[in-house]
Structure 1
Amino acid sequence: MGSFVRRVASGVRRAVLSVVGPRLDRAYLIPDLPRPDLTAHQALQERVIEAGDRPGLRILEVGSREVTGSYGLRQRLKHAEYVGFDYYPGPNVDVAGDAHRLSKLVEGRFDVVFSTAVFEHLAMPWVVAEEIARVLKPGGMLFLETHFSYSAHERPWHFFQFSDMGLRALFSPALGFECVEATLQNPIVGRFSAYADRYLRFRPVPALYCHATIVARKTRDVEGFDWRKITVAEVVGETHYPPPVG
């Protein structure tokens, strides 16, 4: 009887949330956040295929090892050469090694670089951004997805979370990239728990999104790039830190 009651209660809860949830959840959204088009989470692989599956082109996937099942990108490509790169050898991995040394480990340059759920596990993502710039041809496309707000996973190697602006800063014009689209998607409804500091307990936490995504075009090679030699303005573009209130 107890399990039956729980199933009924769960069904009622889902039914109620399906009706009132959208109205309640709207308060947790960022009103002016760009909507995903090229970077839509479940269509990102399609965009990679559209951009790169042509004779003579090469596609590099950074983080290609099949961990939770096959994404099937290699099998879906009909024309392009596919190279899978990952930290460990395994299914769907052609080259194994440290992404911080990517340009020393893969041969040649690529027309498309694709990576999903990897950047949060990189100890020095700014270094890997440089490495991607080295292996991507001018005119080539980067398709990258990582996490903005998500459960800690694969610890202890879960180092960073990224906003859309964080990805823009990593792959900025200073490094030779033009942002085509960057956004956050798959919103999360959150609150502080009973174990938080007393003044925070049970407060709602808006503006949480699971995925941060960017599509960027490599416009040029930048010789001798050095993060210390560029200005913040070269990274953030026309944006400005919000002025003080009052």
Structure 2
Amino acid sequence: MPRVGRADVVVGVVAAALFCLVAVAVVTGWPPLAEIDRAGAAWGERNGGAQSWWVPVWTTVSAVFGPLAFRIAAVVALVWMLVRRRRGASRAEASTLFFASATVLLGGIVPVAVKAVVDRPRPEAALVDALHSSFPSAHAFGITTAALVVMVALVGRVSVAAWRATGAVAGALVVLVCVARVALAVHYVTDVTAGVCLAVVWVLVARLLWQRLSASSAAPA
């Protein structure tokens, strides 16, 4: 797995700063962002009432690319790792799979913890039921975390062209899921924005911790 570079840290710091700014704006009810949130919720409610396909399509997107789907995939990856190790797979391959799975599984705690602190109500116009509070979006966090760990895991394992193509698809899926949550009026624009930013920070922290643990285990006794 590639080491964390300066560019990674810069991106993480920017994401952390943006998350904090959005969180403060949400808590204080900053009018410009509040207006954007209201417009997004109204857009979802309006189309949900006018288009019969609206709710089923966006609900399907939310389910297929939701947190539960990625947690199941992470568990499957862990089982696959154990099978591969027994069959003589390399330590590097097992390490990468374990990092990806652990980051996805443990990451599920992060948005839930923040939700408990901020405790923002869901939009009144929500077209589907949802657990917990609104800020940040666990769906946006989950898809972004999954996309980032896949991109990290593929570094050096596929061609540059394939890596970039995968990144384009992953980025499109992140946008799609964020749009789905706003389209269902179950999240505000600031919720999904915060979810993406928080995921970037989480993956950076996970990589730094993994890098530190890997260095410690490799050090001579």
TM-score for both structures, normalised by structure 1: 0.26
**Higher CA-based Rg:** 1
The structure with the greater share of residues assigned to strand is: 1
The structure with the greater share of residues assigned to helix is: 2
